[in-house]
Amino acid sequence: MSEFIQWVKEQTLGTDENRAKQYIDTVPEETPQIIIQHIYENYPKALKKGFIKRLLHDMIQTYCTTEEKADEMYTHIHKKCPNVLKTSMYTVIINSAPILFWSKMFKHDIDLNTMFQGINMKNRLKYAETAFKFNGFLLRYIKVSKRSTLLCTIAVKSQPGAIKYVPKNRRSNKLVLMAVRHSAETLKCGTEKQQRKFIATAVLNSNWSYRLWSEQWAIDILNTLEDKGAALKEQWEMQEKKKADDWHMHHAHI
DSSP-derived 3-state class of residue 187: helix
111 contacts 92 by C-beta, under 8 angstroms: no
pLDDT score for 83: 85
pLDDT-derived band at 190 (thresholds 50, 70, 90) equals very high
pLDDT-derived band at 188 (thresholds 50, 70, 90) equals very high
Please say if the pLDDT value at position 252 is more than 80.
no
End-to-end CA distance of the chain: 75
Quote the mean pLDDT of the chain.
86
Let me know the angle formed at the C-alpha of 49 by 46 and 51, rounded to the nearest 5 degrees.
110
pTM of the model: 0.71
Please say if the pLDDT value at position 162 is more than 80.
yes
pLDDT-derived band at 11 (thresholds 50, 70, 90) equals very low
Integer Cα distance of 119 and 253 in angstroms: 55
Pick the more confident residue, 91 or 2.
Answer: 91
pLDDT-derived band at 244 (thresholds 50, 70, 90) equals confident
pLDDT tens by residue, 139-149: 999 999 999 99
At 133, give phi and psi (nearest 5°): -65, -25
Please say if the pLDDT value at position 106 is more than 80.
no
Please say if the pLDDT value at position 113 is more than 50.
yes
Please say if the pLDDT value at position 130 is more than 90.
no
Please say if the pLDDT value at position 89 is more than 90.
no
- Closest residue by Cα to residue 183 from 155, 205, 165: 205
Q: Which alpha helices (H) appear in the chain, and where do they start and end? A: 2-13, 16-26, 32-42, 50-63, 67-80, 89-96, 112-118, 121-134, 149-158, 173-182, 192-204, 216-223, 227-252
Integer Cα distance of 207 and 203 in angstroms: 7
Please say if the pLDDT value at position 215 is more than 50.
yes
Taking every pair of Cα atoms in the chain, the longest distance, rounded to a whole number of angstroms, is 88
Please say if the pLDDT value at position 90 is more than 80.
no
Task: Give me the torsion for CA of 46, 85, 83, 136, rounded to 10°.
Answer: 160
201 contacts 173 by C-beta, under 8 angstroms: no
Q: 14: phi > 0 → left, psi -120 to 50 → alpha, else beta; which? A: left
pLDDT score for 98: 72
DSSP labels for 202-228?
HHHSS---GGGGG-HHHHHHHHTTTHH
Integer Cα distance of 55 and 89 in angstroms: 12
Name which of 16-20, 36-40, 66-70, 193-197 the model is least confident about.
66-70
